[in-house]
Structure 1
């Protein structure tokens, strides 16, 4: 292993420690920066990578060759050096490849199942291998649903005949259909987890009463729903599926109610939008995300999955495609998006791995998380749900659902909902306006 020595507070590689010029590296043939020592870091990276791949069988060594070339050309070699020396995912890479077989997603899934720490290291390594084309890309959130089902059936094998078909023929098909419309997010996996977990909770409750699902009554079902959190109503999907297959009676579960988001007043809405478009004190990512929220009512799960492929130029104007219809961007937002792509600092793994996300995440090849972006917007005074409700009501007043849905990436039923709400809000506004005018009207007669 190449050792890094400090000479007068400057970083240089081990072979250069006795060299007359501490910034000249005889191995790499160049001069290292007196502040960063990049070339010496790069030389150390090459040495460690050679050691990592030297003892591997020919198959895995050839498979990982693109990783070596990419790591050697990394913009921030010190990040790579730190990863090689201290990261559990780097050790995992060597251990799995040393087994003599080409790495696959199944191999990494097996390692991930051994514990939470292993799962985190595996996810990081998987993202790195996919980013450089060593492993083919796959929808990790769909794979996570299948792994969750496998873990659940391992703990509760007696429910396999009920849970297995339910997930494979109801939960997974809907998750796949959603994946064809937009990139997956962690929320999609959590949506499936909730349905699987509530189904298990109901079955466990019935087992505690010495009942099977086929013996459950509507009264017992309602008692269980009333005694727990509102997430229990997500069991409706499971019971519909089991009733169709003859495993239970037709037990009724009402749809889980959702409170309507309150909007913000028009002046506040436009003030926030102007702030996002023109205030240089706001972070660039907050300005772009806030503008997409305040202009187009985009959900954060959609904003974080936008890539450079969603942007285009038509007739010298920049456009964005939120679904199937390109939308011409106003000039302030078009300029912000260009700056976000070209000028945003790319540090660490963001600078060392390829990617097209407009909002890249901290792990290789991933986009930013919803929770992280939500915190950033909230910290800068942008109310997310209220802003989105205001925008969608305004747009639904101006466009029919058949136009609004493909423009913003909404389901037609969702667009119809916003249309109905817009009509309700407009009627309430007119009534309030008439009352206000009547109150100010002077009395008639002497």
Structure 2
């Protein structure tokens, strides 16, 4: 690029073998204003998908390519206009591509095509060979709707567990632990408390911005949904300390970065996977803690209050309330 052999553009950066160093270099160019912002993870996924499809047999590449362009990529681009896509989402899409390719290869090995495969073929594959039935169901439904397959379908696995795997006593013990243990990384303490007290999933935590934290003379509030929630004093003090700390992760940081949990790359947020690791390392299993918190909230408050406060749908809050036996008792910081 310095010699002019490669243009200083995202297309130019795409010419290099993609790696963490190249990704970091791209982020530096974006943060400095040399290149316009793009969803870097989505760009990497598009490069991966193009290379992956090019290596498939032509007939399989043609079908998967159409599905990828018109069903997967179109939706990802729409989502990306609202917020950057998470690494977990795109890793899932990579896995889906590999699963669809494995399905088509298996169909070929049976001496049939997707157009001539019957329900018996599909049932055998689902029961004995494949994984990720929900994703495969979407692909098969698309194939049938677009004339690439006929009369086959994949049953969707639906799971919902209202039971709290963490007891109320364990939840409050974990809260106390995060409030007092100064050996725990501050980001893990703050995120863990948001999960334990307000049932925030990791994906929601990493989307929080510093501007979502409202500091006043009366205390600290956090905007998890439409309205800020006033934090209990002990939690508020911890959040204030966290905001005053310099970031220890990023090597280069743009002054305009506004993520509450900043990432290692310039102007980036932490990934949900990394935040999950440090929260788990602090003794708080994120999924179990979120379910326990949701159970506590659902038994203490009306569904509408829960939905408005923590950013879940009224239907989800109502379902947890019914299955948990709601009583609308008091809950810290929400009533």
Q: Which has the higher helix share?
A: 1
Q: Using CA pairs below 8 Å that are at least 6 residues apart, which structure has the higher relative contact order?
A: 2
Following superposition, the deviation at residue 392 of structure 1 comes to: 1.2
Say if 2:248 is the partner of 1:349.
no
Q: Deviations over 1:172-229 (max 9, x none)?
A: 3433454455542101101222222221111111111221111111110010111135
Change (3 A) 1:302 1:315: same
Decide whether the 8 Å contact of 1:216 with 1:248 is kept in 2.
yes
Say if 2:318 is the partner of 1:419.
yes
Change (3 A) 1:409 1:178: farther
Say if 2:119 is the partner of 1:222.
no
Following superposition, the deviation at residue 102 of structure 1 comes to: 4.3
Q: Residue 245 of structure 1 aligns with which residue?
A: 146
Decide whether the 8 Å contact of 2:133 with 2:155 is kept in 1.
no
Following superposition, the deviation at residue 346 of structure 1 comes to: 3.2
Instruction: Give the 5 Å matches for 1:4-19.
Output: none
Instruction: Give the 5 Å matches for 1:258-277.
Output: 258=159, 260=161, 262-277=164-179
Q: Identify which of 17, 20, 34 aligns with 1:134.
A: 34
SS of 1:161 mapped into structure 2: helix
Change (3 A) 1:241 1:215: same
Decide whether the 8 Å contact of 1:393 with 1:418 is kept in 2.
no
SS of 2:115 mapped into structure 1: helix
Structure possessing the higher radius of gyration over alpha carbons? 1
Change (3 A) 1:405 1:107: farther
Q: Identify which of 290, 296, 300 aligns with 2:198.
A: 296
Instruction: Give the alignment's TM-score, normalised by structure 1.
Output: 0.66
Following superposition, the deviation at residue 409 of structure 1 comes to: 3.1
Decide whether the 8 Å contact of 1:362 with 1:368 is kept in 2.
yes
Instruction: Give the 5 Å matches for 1:147-166.
Output: 147-156=47-56, 157-166=58-67
Change (3 A) 1:133 1:329: farther
Say if 2:267 is the partner of 1:365.
yes
Distance 2:319 2:151 in 1: 31
Distance 2:212 2:67 in 1: 35
Q: Residue 85 of structure 2 aligns with which residue?
A: 184
Instruction: Give the alignment's TM-score, normalised by structure 2.
Output: 0.85
Q: Deviations over 1:26-49 (max 9, x none)?
A: xxxxxxxxxxxxxxxxxxxxxxxx
Change (3 A) 1:356 1:108: same
SS of 1:216 mapped into structure 2: coil
Q: Deviations over 1:310-332 (max 9, x none)?
A: 22346854322223332223333
Change (3 A) 1:187 1:275: same
Distance 2:302 2:67 in 1: 37
Decide whether the 8 Å contact of 2:164 with 2:295 is kept in 1.
no
Q: Residue 339 of structure 1 aligns with which residue?
A: 241
Decide whether the 8 Å contact of 1:131 with 1:364 is kept in 2.
yes
Listed as ranges, the gaps of 5+ residues in structure 1 are 1-95, 113-117, 428-446
Superposition CA RMSD, Å: 2.7
Change (3 A) 1:380 1:400: same
SS of 2:222 mapped into structure 1: strand
Distance 2:299 2:80 in 1: 29
Listed as ranges, the gaps of 5+ residues in structure 2 are 327-335
Distance 2:65 2:211 in 1: 37
Q: Residue 254 of structure 1 aligns with which residue?
A: 155
